Amino acid sequence: MDNLKELSKIQQYAAQCMKCGFCSFFCPVYQEERTETSVARGKNYLVREILAGRQEFTKEMADIIGKCLLCKRCVVNCPSKTQIDRVVVGARAEMVNKKGLGFIKDFAFRKVMADRKKFGRYVKLAQKFQWMLPKTEGKIRHLPDFIKGLGKRNIPEIADRFLRDMVKEVNKPQDGKAPVMKIGFFSGCAMDFVAPETGLKIIDFLTKKGVEVVYPQDQNCCGAAIYFSGDFETGRKLAEENIKAFEKFDYVVTGCGTCSSTLKDYAKYLSENEDQQKRYDAFAKKVKDLTEFVVDVMKINLEELKLKKEFEGKTATWHDPCHLVRYQNIKDQPRAILKALKGLKFAEMPNADMCCGMGGSFSVYHYDLTKKIADKKMAGIKATNADIVVTACPGCIINLQDNVIRSKMPQKVYHFLELVE
């Protein structure tokens, strides 16, 4: 046990499973593969076997632990409340301790993503060469078959200019009056590199409502892909940088559901001592997803929100990002916003809270599964006859847009604030 530092921390959670197997019904991966190692009960059992000294950290074990979307559907439906997300992430962290990250992740997480400036330079470099990829439509390009690892998919174009290069550090309320509130805006990587216009839109919206929005240039990646893959060391480095960057703000607001949940969860996964725990907890309290910030903190009169002309008469459906609906229990706020927009029709899709299949780096390694899981999402969208799909996580937007195009469906996917005038 002494040499299983991360696993010993999650032992209590692993012990909770009573092997009823109900998780199989809720697991998107099991629903496709239908094997025991796909599902929470199987993964959890194998982690217990490691803890008991009867199982090694084999390559297959790494694959099994890797093949989880961390969508938490099993967790919220578990009769004995087993926190399988903590078990899976803890096992990944132990795996990293024992076996290292592997060349690709090591390079991506530690050499690139953890260094804000370098990350930007690499993405810039990629941006310069993306003309080589054929365009599908508008700002979507598809990766041709020769990039075998990623399969054939439609990815958004990297923006010409990043948000960080376009945005002022301090953005005063537009009415020139004293700010009603002062917040730190956390963009997240996707809004920085791929969808800076959404970031600008959020800042514009908030400053119109009398909020002073500060964009600290020394903010870093939230760390989701990094610490959910088990790289706690780099995760901590990012946590410390972000906490420092937002030190002087009462609220840290982000328009990315995954970022908001990841920032809130530093305390849950990364703290190693009481001091860290305290600081991470305090930071978590300041973090607000844009949906909850608008509805619960600013308490904006939603009736006053105006729908953009181009969406007049359209029907919208809402996709619940896992990181909002299950990680933060945010489901009513975005619906309230959509339903309040006059001129927009709202249609609930039957499987709104089902994972879209993205799961961050999951979709890089298991794109075939991602597509199958997304197929079910697409069927749900189709059933609503909606014109547009609305959500609040750039990761979901990228994946949903890819699959809408792949399924030859007419819908476009939007961040909810893009609908607001």
Partner 1 sequence: MIKESSIEQFKQIVGKDNVLTSKESLKSYSYDGTTSWIHEPDVVLFPTSTQEISAIMKIANAEKIPVTPRGGGTNVSGGSVPIEGGIVMCFTKMNKIIKIDKENLTATVEPGVVLMDLNMALAREGLFFPPDPQSFLGATMGGIIAENAGGPACVKYGVTKQYILGLEVVLANGDVVNLGGRTLKNVVGYDLMHIFISSEGTLGIISRAELKLNPLPKAKKTIMAVYADVAVAGESVYRVLENGVIPDKIEFLDNWVINRIEEMMPMGLPKDADAVLLFECDGIPESVEKEVEQIVEITKKHGAIDVRVAKDQAEADRYWLARRAGFAAVFGKAATVLAEDVTVPRNKMPDLIRKCKEVAKKYNLEITVLGHAGDGNLHPSILTDINNKEAYDRALKGLDEIIEATVELGGVLSGEHGIGLEKQKFFRRVIDPNVTNLMKGIKQLVDPNNIMNPGKIW
Binding site for partner 1 (CB under 8 A): 16, 18-26, 34-37, 42, 45-46, 49, 55, 58, 60-61, 64, 78-81
- We find the least distance from the C-beta atom of residue 48 to partner 1, in angstroms, to be 10
Tokens read off for 286: 């300041």
CB-nearer residue toward partner 1: 42 or 255: 42
Helices and strands per DSSP (H, E), number in the chain: 23, 12
Asked if residues 398 and 190 have their Cβ atoms less than 8 Å apart, the reply is yes
CB-nearer residue toward partner 1: 60 or 165: 60
- We find the least distance from the C-beta atom of residue 47 to partner 1, in angstroms, to be 11
Cα–Cα distance measured from residue 350 to residue 408, given in angstroms and rounded to the nearest whole number = 20
- We find the least distance from the C-beta atom of residue 258 to partner 1, in angstroms, to be 27
CB-nearer residue toward partner 1: 54 or 177: 54
- We find the least distance from the C-beta atom of residue 46 to partner 1, in angstroms, to be 6
Tokens read off for 197: 């216009």
Cα–Cα distance measured from residue 274 to residue 278, given in angstroms and rounded to the nearest whole number = 6
- Residue 221 pairs in a beta bridge with none
- We find the least distance from the C-beta atom of residue 34 to partner 1, in angstroms, to be 4
Among the listed residues 81, 98, 94, 67, the one whose alpha carbon sits nearest the alpha carbon of residue 12: 81
Tokens read off for 163: 């948000």
The DSSP-derived string for 140-162 is: EEEE-TTSGGG-SEEEEPPPSS-
CB-nearer residue toward partner 1: 42 or 321: 42
Residue identified by tokens 């001592």 is: 273
CB-nearer residue toward partner 1: 165 or 368: 368
CB-nearer residue toward partner 1: 24 or 198: 24
CB-nearer residue toward partner 1: 40 or 388: 40
CB-nearer residue toward partner 1: 25 or 131: 25
Cα–Cα distance measured from residue 340 to residue 303, given in angstroms and rounded to the nearest whole number = 6
Q: Reduced to 3 states, what is the DSSP secondary structure of residue 318?
A: strand
- We find the least distance from the C-beta atom of residue 18 to partner 1, in angstroms, to be 4
The DSSP-derived string for 341-369 is: STT-EE---TTTTS--S-TTTHHHH-HHH
- We find the least distance from the C-beta atom of residue 52 to partner 1, in angstroms, to be 11
- We find the least distance from the C-beta atom of residue 367 to partner 1, in angstroms, to be 18
Cα 222 from chain centroid (whole Å)? 10
Cα–Cα distance measured from residue 158 to residue 398, given in angstroms and rounded to the nearest whole number = 12
CB-nearer residue toward partner 1: 34 or 208: 34
Alpha helices of 271-310 — where are they, by DSSP H? Answer: 274-286, 290-292
CB-nearer residue toward partner 1: 22 or 122: 22
Tokens read off for 13: 């959670």
- We find the least distance from the C-beta atom of residue 95 to partner 1, in angstroms, to be 14
Provide Rg for the chain, Cα atoms.
Answer: 21
Asked if residues 319 and 356 have their Cβ atoms less than 8 Å apart, the reply is yes
Could you tell me which residues come within 8 angstroms of residue 12 by beta carbon, excluding any fewer than 6 positions away?
A: none
Asked if residues 259 and 188 have their Cβ atoms less than 8 Å apart, the reply is yes
- We find the least distance from the C-beta atom of residue 36 to partner 1, in angstroms, to be 4
